[in-house]
Amino acid sequence: MAHRQSQKLGIQKNKLLRYQKVLDYYNEVKNPDIPTTVIWRKYIYPKFAISRTTLYEILGTPVVKQLKDIQAFEDSQISMF
């Protein structure tokens, strides 16, 4: 059972790390004068091949907080041994 939870946590962590890469690149190319849809079409999609819906999901995800929560959980698991 613990292995299954650990596996789910690893999958979630990897997804969040991918999200972080997309967010970093998005913030690098973001310009207030350019709509997000244009940024997605010109920059995000060619590099990451994600849908516009996925980009909006990423933008709405508290990536840093969730990664900190996962790290705290991993640290607490390690300290148990």
Q: What are phi and psi of 65, to 5 degrees?
A: -65, -45
Name the 3-class secondary structure at 81.
Answer: coil
Position 2 scores a pLDDT of 64
C-beta atoms surrounding 25 within 10 Å: 15
For the chain, the domains span 2-75
pLDDT digit string (tens) for the chain, length 81 residues: 567 877 898 899 999 999 999 999 999 999 999 999 999 999 999 999 999 999 999 999 999 999 999 999 888 877 665
Rounded to whole angstroms, what are the CA distances from 14 to 7, 10, 36, 74?
11, 6, 24, 14
Q: What is the pLDDT of residue 39?
A: 97
pLDDT of residue 79: 64
